[in-house]
Amino acid sequence: MFKANKWVIPYVVILSVVLLIPAVTIPLVDHDARQTWENRTLTQLPDLTKVLTTPKPVFGQLDDYVNDHIGGGFQAIKGRRKFYFDTFGATNDIYIVGNDQGSYFLTSPFRQKDRKQPFSWWGNACVRAQNPNYLKSYIKIFEKSEADLSKYGAEVVYGMVPSKAVLLQDQLPKSTPEKIRAACEEISAENNWAVNYSKLNPDINFFYPYTAFKERVSDPLFYPNTAYHWQGESTWVFAEKLAAEYNLDVSPAWDKGPCKNTSVKWDIGGLIGVGQETPGCDRDLSSLEIEIDEKFMYPLNAQAKKETVKVVKMTNPHAVNDKTAIVFSNSFGPAVRQQVASHFKTTYHLRAGIINGVDMKALLSQSDILDVDFIVVTVADFHYPGMLRQIDPSKK
């Protein structure tokens, strides 16, 4: 007869307690905070009734669910990133790297589960910007997107912000792959993705103020070295150039004076849990007196998964016209939405990057949200709006 080791029972008890920790701690975690911090939707609990019919996907989703919701995981990830950043100037996921001059560069998508290709965004901005086959393929998506957005008569502009990879080519970190470094060095006012796309379809509006940013980027107060987001004085220059390029009215409340030295919040801190304020240069945004209603919920039609989607509505009391605009953006949108809103009577801002494909298509199918005068899709140049990728150019 088999005789069990006397330590088996305590071991089983201890192991069972350890395995129960995720289930016990999950209800105690602030999942909304983590979801906001990581700018993504956490994995949902799978349908456990399907475990017998489709065990592999159910257990896979359950594993991701536990990883996303386990107690202490959020803090552990922040601590790990802080250690790597403080010690090596980068994270072990390699999405932020620095150089000897103190400039920081974002290198890959900030998503928890698919950081598989470091420097992929620089590949988009530099390598793919000079690849004829890639450009010909992607212009079709822009064409389909532009057709959907402009079908009610709005003027559509794809306003992209030059990133540091194409503005500070001589300061790229030593870890940059040689192919990408060489491609970035080729980028200029005459050779960039916007210029190349415009050659393929001159009828689409690509707004890319490369020269304006290149002339000022070496000034740390214009484009703070420690920030990867575009902010401060650069947001005003972007909006000024946008108005000049498309004959938009400039509000009489627009601050035309020089930028003033100020403290710019280091937005990298929102990603890795460590932050500081750095010297910057900005104007008085409050002078525009833009009225913001951040609780405006736009209803979606029956085709959508959600009933509503969050829209920021802005009203300009100093508008010299009755025009309405929409800004579709990723996280860069809040940095410039008030400046853009100052050119119109009413402006809506949607974070397109956090709207899923089904809901985005439902949104684009509704005439009242697109029945405006001006639409600007605003992101940085190292990746493209998710709303464009959700449109299959092969399906007309």
pLDDT tens string for the chain (396 positions)? 555 566 677 777 777 777 777 667 777 777 777 776 555 677 888 888 888 888 888 888 888 887 777 777 666 766 766 665 566 555 544 455 666 666 666 665 444 444 456 677 788 889 988 899 989 988 988 898 898 888 889 999 999 888 888 888 888 877 788 899 999 999 999 999 899 999 999 999 999 999 999 998 878 778 776 666 677 888 899 999 999 999 999 999 998 888 888 877 665 555 445 555 677 788 888 899 999 987 778 888 777 777 888 889 999 999 999 999 999 987 778 889 999 999 999 999 988 767 777 787 778 777 688 889 999 998 778 766 666 665 444 443
Q: Cβ distance 242 to 340 under 8 Å?
A: yes
Write out the chain in H/E/C secondary structure. Answer: CCCCCCCHHHHHHHHHHHHHHHHHHHHHCCHHHHHHHHCCCCCCCCCHHHCCCCHHHHHHHHHHHHHHHCCCHHHHHHHHHHHHHHHHCCCCCCCEEECCCCCEEECCCCCCCCCCCCCHHHHHHHHHHHCHHHHHHHHHHHHHHHHHHHCCCCEEEEEEECCHHHHCHHHCCCCCCHHHHHHHHCCCCCCCHHHHHHHHCCCCEEECCHHHHHHHCCCCCCCCCCCCCCCCHHHHHHHHHHHHHCCCCCCCCCCCCCCEEEEEECCCHHHHCCCCEEEEEECCHHHHCCEEEEEEEEECCCCCCCCEEEEEEEECCCCCCCCEEEEEECCCHHHHHHHHHCCCCEEEEEEHHHCCHHHHHHHHCCHHHHCCCEEEEEEECCCCCHHHHCCCCCCC
The pLDDT of residue 111:
46
In a domain, 85, yes or no: no
CA distance linking residue 229 with residue 201, whole number of Å: 29
In a domain, 83, yes or no: no
Of 344, 359, 249, the C-alpha closest to 303 is 359
Question: What is the domain count for the chain?
Answer: 2
The pLDDT of residue 92:
45
The pLDDT of residue 245:
96
Instruction: Give 292: exposed, middle or buried? Use CB within 10 Å, 0-12, 13-18, 19+.
Output: middle
Residue linked to tokens 């801190």: 269
Domain shared by 158 and 21, yes or no: no
In a domain, 395, yes or no: no
Phi, psi (deg, nearest 5) at residue 282: -150, 170
Domain shared by 173 and 41, yes or no: no
In a domain, 181, yes or no: yes
The structure tokens listed for 103 are 């400039």
Domain shared by 40 and 188, yes or no: no
Instruction: Give 88: exposed, middle or buried? Use CB within 10 Å, 0-12, 13-18, 19+.
Output: exposed
The pLDDT of residue 204:
95
Domain shared by 55 and 113, yes or no: no
In a domain, 365, yes or no: yes
Q: Cβ distance 125 to 165 under 8 Å?
A: yes
Q: Cβ neighbours of residue 386 under 8 Å, at least 6 residues apart?
A: 330, 352, 353, 355, 360
Domain shared by 149 and 288, yes or no: yes
In a domain, 2, yes or no: no
The structure tokens listed for 120 are 């992929």
Domain shared by 168 and 113, yes or no: yes
Domain shared by 176 and 40, yes or no: no
In a domain, 202, yes or no: yes
Q: Cβ neighbours of residue 202 under 8 Å, at least 6 residues apart?
A: none
The structure tokens listed for 127 are 């390598």
10 vs 1, 2, 24, CA distance in Å?
21, 18, 20
Domain shared by 53 and 103, yes or no: no
CA distance linking residue 351 with residue 137, whole number of Å: 25
Domain shared by 115 and 191, yes or no: yes
| Final residue before a domain boundary, out of 25, 43, 71 | 71
CA distance linking residue 170 with residue 189, whole number of Å: 16
Domain shared by 97 and 62, yes or no: no
Q: Give the distance from CA 366 to its chain's centroid.
A: 24
Domain extent, residue 103, equals 91-389
CA distance linking residue 271 with residue 386, whole number of Å: 20
In a domain, 276, yes or no: yes
Q: Give the distance from CA 102 to its chain's centroid.
A: 23
Domain shared by 112 and 203, yes or no: yes
Predicted TM-score of the model (pTM): 0.74
Tally of CA atoms within 13 A in the half-sphere of 232 that contains its CB: 30
The pLDDT of residue 108:
59
Domain shared by 33 and 118, yes or no: no
